Every structure is written in C-alpha cells, then in structure tokens.
Amino acid sequence: MTDRSDQEQNGLSLSEIDSMRTLDEKQRDGASGETVYQLTFHKGQEPTIEEGKVTEIGSLDDSPPIDLQALGTDTYTYYGIFRMKDRSTTMVVQDKDGKTYKALSLGKDTVRVPYPVSIES
C-alpha cells in the first residue's frame, strides 16, 4: 500500500508545466493546449482520475483570475485552468512547495482548497 502523502507529492507542478509549454501554447491562453494531462484528485479513500488540457496557467502575482484573488499569494504561487474531457473546467493551484491542489471558487471573496491533485503528462 502506498502512503497517501507520497502519492500526493508525485507528479508535475504547475510551474513545470508552464515551463514546458511552447510559445504558441502560451499565446493561445483560453484555448485548450495540445498536451493531455492526467489529473488525480486525492479526495476520500479512492482517488479519481480525469484527463484534461491546459487552457490557462500563470503566476498568482500577475493578475490572477477574479475567482482566485482571495487566495493569499504568500501561500500559493501558480494557478492552472484545465479543460476536462467532459468540457468542464477545473482550477488547480500550486503552493510554495510545488504541491498542487483543487481550487473551488465559492464567491467573490471565498476560495476553498479542499484536496491535493497530482498531475501527469
């Protein structure tokens, strides 16, 4: 049995994904990129796995989406928006240690970060 904290630390950080994106992908923010990522959501006993493509990724210091402005940039550094296979979007944030988490916007001033996410290409 694999330790859950080990599972959650595996994978790519958002800053690593951003550094691997081509100039063309960066200029097309808002449109799905070419690379399909596997996102593993570590909630509850059984993690769920979904596929998605990056539509936007960036630093929280550089004008984050309005949904994430309530997050403290002293804790979180990057955000990523993924277009999932079912056409929904998922927002992920990265902390200073490079760990990634699901982000839920619950209104103008409330953002929850309920559970870890690991990302693989």
pLDDT tens figures, 36-78: 999 999 998 899 999 999 999 988 888 777 778 788 778 999 9
Q: Write b or e for each residue in 28-44: b if 16 or more Cβ atoms lie within 10 A of its Cβ, otherwise e.
A: beeebbeeebebbbbee
Q: Is the pLDDT of residue 91 over 50?
A: yes
Query: Whole-prediction pTM value?
Result: 0.84
For residue 6, the tally of other CB atoms under 10 A from its CB is: 8
What strand order describes the sheet that includes 111-112? 111-112, 100-105, 89-95, 76-84, 48-59, 37-41, 117-120
Interval 95-109 mean pLDDT: 88
Q: So what's the pLDDT on residue 9?
A: 54
Quote the CA–CA distance of 56 and 90 in Å, as a whole number: 11
Q: Is the pLDDT of residue 5 over 50?
A: no
Q: So what's the pLDDT on residue 7?
A: 41
Percent pLDDT > 70 in the chain is 89
Q: So what's the pLDDT on residue 74?
A: 81
- CA dihedral sign, ordered 71, 56, 7, 4: positive
For the chain, the domains span 4-120
